[in-house]
Amino acid sequence: MGRIVRCPIENRVLANADGVLDIFELVAGANNKCLLHSFRFESDEIAAESVRLQLCRRSTTGTGGVAGVEVLNDEDDGAITASINFDVTSPGTIGALLTGYRWEQLGPVEELFIPEDRIVVAEGGRLCLNVVAAFATDTSISGHIVWEEI
């Protein structure tokens, strides 16, 4: 088993003016692959809004947003090589579409991958959770993403 890394996000405002954006962009390190274990995000919305999401690979890195603060599950596991950004307002070039979601924001959007179904991010590769169309209103999200570096 490799390094297990988690990265929280708390009360990040995703502005509807930004249009299409990536909730997260995970970039694997140059010498390590990443396995996506899980993610979970909740919205502060109190009125029903349905948003289309896509989990996809990207061939180029996006811009904008804020760097996440990664935390090792085991502090003795060495240095984290991947990086993650939240609220990437100018996503990179889309590659393979892995799955789609319809997020009804009164509940969480989450995925807990079984070991056989974990998505591999190649060395230097990118994995994103893309918002296909703008939110109807500004939305504040909280949650986390967990991956393994191998």
pLDDT digits over 46-76, tens only? Answer: 888 899 999 999 999 999 999 999 999 988 7
- pLDDT tens profile 68-125: 999 999 887 789 999 999 999 999 999 999 999 999 999 999 999 999 999 999 999 9
Judged on CB neighbours under 10 Å (0-12, 13-18, 19+), 4 is: middle
For residues 97-126, one letter each, b for 16 or more C-beta atoms within 10 angstroms of the residue's C-beta and e for the rest, the string is eeeeeebebeeebebeeeeeeebebeeebb
CATH of the domain at 29: 2.60.120
What's the pLDDT at 120? 97
Residue 14 is predicted with a pLDDT of 93
Name the DSSP class of 124. T
pLDDT score recorded for residue 78: 87
How many distinct structural domains can be found in the chain?
A: 1
pLDDT at res. 76: 79
| pLDDT recorded at residue 17 | 86
| Parallel, antiparallel or unpaired: strands 34-43 and 21-27 | unpaired
What pLDDT is attached to residue 99?
Answer: 96
Q: What is the extent of the structural domain holding 68?
A: 3-149
pLDDT at 55: 98
Position 74 scores a pLDDT of: 86
Q: What is the mean pLDDT of residues 23-31?
A: 97
Is residue 90 within 8 Å of residue 64, measured between CB atoms? yes
